[in-house]
Structure formats: C-alpha cells, structure tokens
Structure 1
Amino acid sequence: MKLSVIILALFHAVFLADQEPVSSKYSIQSETLCVGDNLEFGDYSIKFKKIISDSRCPKGVTCVWAGEVEVLVEFYENGKLKGNKVITGTNIEIGGNEIISEAGISLKEYFGEKNLGITKVVVSPYPGKRKISPEEYSVNLGVTRTIEND
C-alpha cells in the first residue's frame, strides 16, 4: 500500500513538472467609491452612479429569498461616456465582506479590451433594521487587467 502511494506521488510530481508555467500576470486596482466617485485606471474610469434597488435580506432576519442589490455604474474613456451597466447580484459573505456574486464582468464592450474586467464589487453597508439612505452607500470595485507574457 505504501509503495503504491509513493509511486502515485512520484507520477503526480513528474506530471506537474512537465506543465508549462502560467504566462499571465495581473494588474489589480481596487477602490471604495461613494455616489458620484470615479475609479480611474489609465484613460478609463468607472463612476458609481447609484444603487437602483437593495432587497438583500437584513442581518439577523431569516429570509426565504436572499434578495439582491442593483448598482448602476458608468464607463468613461478620456472623459467621454462609453456606456452604463446595472450590476445585479446577491451578496455572499466572505470574511465579513459581502461580495456580489456577479463579479467577473468583462469590460470589452465599453473599452474594447478583452483583458480588462471588474472582478470585485462590494456594496456597503449591508442592510440592517433601519433604512439606508442613498448617500450612505459605497461600492468597493476591483478592476483587473490581464497582462500576457510571450
């Protein structure tokens, strides 16, 4: 039994050593935005316009449906509006942060770059017992650019 485990481990090590290394690097930019703020990266920017709706299940309440939050953002290139998008998702709590499950949004449609995308959207505050006013919301956006090595 021990011999077969050792042989399996050696086979696995040889198999992994034969693979080519990953040839991509990532440039990641993340910033927390209040309503009207921009996340700027090079000639591009993303503006947090507003929360359209927030039906997430409040903390301390048992809900049949988790609810969702809709965030309106605008995309700019060299100060010129390229379009807007409503990002919709149900927040998932990871380490105390609520992360929208729709993250992984390509920005090719707006900026023409296939290697650029929104990889993180965290909406705060999370609903509680009191109503949240529109100006209290903030959104932490993460934009990732894949840089391929040749």
Structure 2
Amino acid sequence: MMYQRLLVSIVLMTVLVLGCAQVSPGKAPGEPTAEPVPIETVPTDPAPIEQTQLGTSVQVALAQEVAIADDSLTLRFDQVLQDSRCPEGTTCVWQGRAELQVSLLQAGQLLGKAQLIYQPGNGQLGVQRIDGYQVKITGLTPRPGLATDDEPVEYTATFIVTQP
C-alpha cells in the first residue's frame, strides 16, 4: 500500500512538472530556448513625451518614452519579451514573471538597453544598471488574460530611474 502511494505521488509530481514546462520545436523538454519569443502587443499611439525627475515613479506605455529632466535622459519601454504571470481570474501555485526590454538615451544618444524581470514580491530581479543609472521596474499591467484571449495586450509599466 505504501509503494502504491509513493508511485502515485511520483506520477502526479511528474505530470505537474511536465505540464508546466515550455517546449520549443526541435528541443527536448527542459532544454532552454535560444531566444525569447516576443509577445504580440499593441503599441499605443505616439503621445507627447511625459516629463519626470530622477527618483520619481513614472508609468510608461509600451513603445512610449518618458523624459527625465535632470540629465536630459529618455527612458523607452521597448518590448515585452515574455509574460508568464498568473492569468487574471485564476489561482496559481507560482506568481510567474514578465521580462521586458527598456532603452535609456541621453540627448538622443543610446546609453544602453536592459532586460528587466518583473516578478511580484521580488523587487531585486527588476533592477539593472545602464551607464551609471539604475532602472527599476515596480509594476506591470495588465496581468495576462486567459489562453482564449486573442486580443493583443496594451502594457503599461511603472519605472524609477535613479543615479546611485
């Protein structure tokens, strides 16, 4: 009887692990993909560039920019590379995370790009340095919809840029 419970537990754990794994064509389960596949998103219409200061929290829509007046900086929210956060209206064992790319420019010249990871409850993952500045993501909306949603996502991220 004990061996049957053990066997059932092992089978259930295997199904759970394999059910959550992402498999790419031509790759074995568990083998990492070479490059992330960008999520279909809808850039919002170009809007006037919002102004903010270093150290101030600011919301930026996908494919939009915000001017940081202190040092003639511009932060651009380039793209969402992946979003595995728990879909809206569901309960998940793991909250998941989103990975996005931003660019930092000074006087129109690219200082660098960074990939930021947003994982609710883990602010340390969402911080990167670009040329002496620190860029941190503190929020990302909306959460993903259910798999049946065919509409592209209109993301808005909240960032703080500082100079430590």
TM-score of the two chains, using structure 1 as the length reference: 0.59
| 8 Å contact from structure 1 (residues 89, 101) kept in 2 | no
Three-state SS of the structure 2 residue aligned to 1:91 is: coil
Q: CA deviation at 1:106?
A: 4.6
Three-state SS of the structure 2 residue aligned to 1:126 is: coil
The change in CA–CA distance for 1:100 and 1:69 in structure 2 (over 3 A counts) is farther
Cα distance in 2, alignment partners of residues 119 and 86 from structure 1 = 10
Pick from 47, 55, 60 the counterpart of residue 33 of structure 1.
Answer: 60
Matched pairs, number: 107
Which one-letter code corresponds to 2:161 in the other structure? V
Cα distance in 2, alignment partners of residues 67 and 120 from structure 1 = 15
Cα distance in 1, alignment partners of residues 77 and 55 from structure 2 = 18
Cα distance in 2, alignment partners of residues 53 and 132 from structure 1 = 16
Cα distance in 1, alignment partners of residues 104 and 141 from structure 2 = 21
| 8 Å contact from structure 1 (residues 91, 101) kept in 2 | no
Instruction: Output aligned runs, 1:35-54, within 5 Å.
Output: 35-41=62-68, 42-54=71-83
Q: Does residue 66 of structure 1 match 2:83?
A: no
Instruction: Output aligned runs, 1:17-32, within 5 Å.
Output: 28-32=55-59
Identify the structure with the greater strand proportion. Answer: 1
Cα distance in 2, alignment partners of residues 75 and 85 from structure 1 = 8
Q: CA deviation at 1:70?
A: 0.7
| 8 Å contact from structure 1 (residues 51, 70) kept in 2 | yes
C-alpha RMSD of matched pairs (Å): 2.4
Which residue of 2 is the match for residue 75 of structure 1? 104
Q: Does residue 102 of structure 1 match 2:125?
A: yes
Cα distance in 1, alignment partners of residues 83 and 105 from structure 2 = 25
Q: CA deviation at 1:39?
A: 2.4
Q: CA deviation at 1:131?
A: 5.3
Q: Does residue 143 of structure 1 match 2:153?
A: no
Cα distance in 1, alignment partners of residues 158 and 151 from structure 2 = 17
The change in CA–CA distance for 1:74 and 1:29 in structure 2 (over 3 A counts) is same
Cα distance in 1, alignment partners of residues 77 and 152 from structure 2 = 15
Structure 2, unaligned stretches of length 5 or more?
1-53
In our comparison, the structure showing a higher alpha carbon Rg is 1
Q: What's the % identity of the aligned pairs?
A: 23
Three-state SS of the structure 1 residue aligned to 2:93 is: coil
Of structures 1 and 2, the one with the larger relative CO (CA 8 A, separation 6+) is 1
Q: CA deviation at 1:34?
A: 1.2
Which one-letter code corresponds to 2:125 in the other structure? E
Cα distance in 1, alignment partners of residues 137 and 119 from structure 2 = 13
Structure 1, unaligned stretches of length 5 or more?
1-26, 93-98
Cα distance in 2, alignment partners of residues 52 and 89 from structure 1 = 11
TM-score of the two chains, using structure 2 as the length reference: 0.55
